[in-house]
Amino acid sequence: MMREILERLAEKESLTEREIGMAMERLFSDEVTDSEISAFLIGLKMKGETIEEIAGLVNGIRANALPFKKIPGSLDNCGTGGDGLKTFNVSSTSAFVIAAAGIPVAKHGNRSVSSKTGSADVLEELGIQLNLTEERLQEIIDEVGIAFLYAPNVHPKIKRIQKVRKDLGIPTVFNLLGPLMNPVDLDTQFLGVYRRDLTKMFAEVLQALGRKRAVVLNGAGSMDEASLQGDNYLVILDNGTMKEVTLHPEDVGLPVYPNEAIVGGYAAENAEILRNVLKGKQGAHRDTVLLNAGIGIFTGGKADSIQEGIEKAKELIDSGAALEKLQRLIEASNAQKEAI
């Protein structure tokens, strides 16, 4: 059956949901060869992936991930990476502000791919334990309102595919799947992409995956976060309807900064930036987090507009509520380690 699927891809024929399902079963089996994995990834890339195929791939990956119970109102905020701007960990910092707004955040991420420091790197530097059981992660979301789902930990069966991807050394559909692979059945999502032409496609994929509400954004300067440099392009998904809007920082009372103003470094430096923002330090880092957290709070339904979300983000940082979320997550993630 895999041979038939590969032949169809070679003829540039799109796959049905059933065929994608069969291909994913094969990719996760012990019988699959590296050559088959490579041919499948290259075949999809050469043909061009459809919305149905991407959604099918994501569902197949999630079906083989650690199982999580439904978390009502849950949100993830993340970017695809790939913008090459090497900014500090904007989404990780913003996640604590969003969680402080009362939105359960299931933050899914990995170590560095295109930047110096990935979300896992900076959170580990802050003292957050990465390799927790799904039961403990679920408890932490319930207790603290935010947990970090380390991708290699929650997707134990994907190692073989990742090895082939690394050996290939070229971008494939899996470079786009990271923000979509969260094993939690999310209600809402704020997702950044580094290419403007991908915003509508990602919104359609999120709709196919059952998101009730989502914002997909391409930042100024091709950043995969909301940027203070200029116009940001958003697709807002709300219960099946989509709206495309442009947002400039001055539209919501924020200053303009070049993307170079928020370049980060390695884990220790980015951890310090994250702490300083949550402690209320003024400047480009804080204002970038205000914009991104404001959009996240709006996406999660705790604000009626992005402007209102930004005002709430300011209050949550200045009151210490966002910093408290970080401190509680550090304590909660280490509690299991201390008990062993």
DSSP element (H, E) containing 227:
none
Structural contact between residues 336 and 132, judged by C-beta atoms closer than 8 angstroms: yes
Question: Is 35 assigned a ligand-binding role in the annotation?
Answer: no
Question: Is 91 assigned a ligand-binding role in the annotation?
Answer: yes
Question: Is 118 assigned a ligand-binding role in the annotation?
Answer: no
Question: Is 87 assigned a ligand-binding role in the annotation?
Answer: yes
Question: Looking up tokens 């480009």, which residue turns up?
Answer: 284
Question: Is 79 assigned a ligand-binding role in the annotation?
Answer: yes
**Count of CB atoms within 10 A of residue 156's CB?**
10
Question: Is 227 assigned a ligand-binding role in the annotation?
Answer: no
How far apart CA 140 and CA 249 sit, in angstroms, is 34
Question: Is 112 assigned a ligand-binding role in the annotation?
Answer: yes
Beta-strand relationship, 213-218 and 232-238? antiparallel
Question: Is 285 assigned a ligand-binding role in the annotation?
Answer: no
Question: Is 333 assigned a ligand-binding role in the annotation?
Answer: no
Question: Is 82 assigned a ligand-binding role in the annotation?
Answer: yes
Beta-strand relationship, 241-247 and 232-238? antiparallel
Question: Is 115 assigned a ligand-binding role in the annotation?
Answer: yes
How far apart CA 195 and CA 70 sit, in angstroms, is 31
How far apart CA 171 and CA 281 sit, in angstroms, is 37
First vs last C-alpha separation in the chain:
46
Question: Looking up tokens 């110096």, which residue turns up?
Answer: 116
Query: What amino acid is encoded at 58 in this protein?
Result: V
Question: Is 248 assigned a ligand-binding role in the annotation?
Answer: no
Question: Is 319 assigned a ligand-binding role in the annotation?
Answer: no
Question: Is 136 assigned a ligand-binding role in the annotation?
Answer: no
Q: How many residues appear in the chain? A: 340
Structural contact between residues 104 and 257, judged by C-beta atoms closer than 8 angstroms: no
Question: Is 119 assigned a ligand-binding role in the annotation?
Answer: yes
Annotated binding-site residue numbers for anthranilate: 79, 110, 165
Annotated binding-site residue numbers: 79, 82-83, 87, 89-92, 107-115, 119, 165, 224-225
Annotated binding-site residue numbers for 5-phospho-alpha-D-ribose 1-diphosphate: 79, 82-83, 87, 89-92, 107-115, 119
Annotated binding-site residue numbers for Mg(2+): 91, 224-225
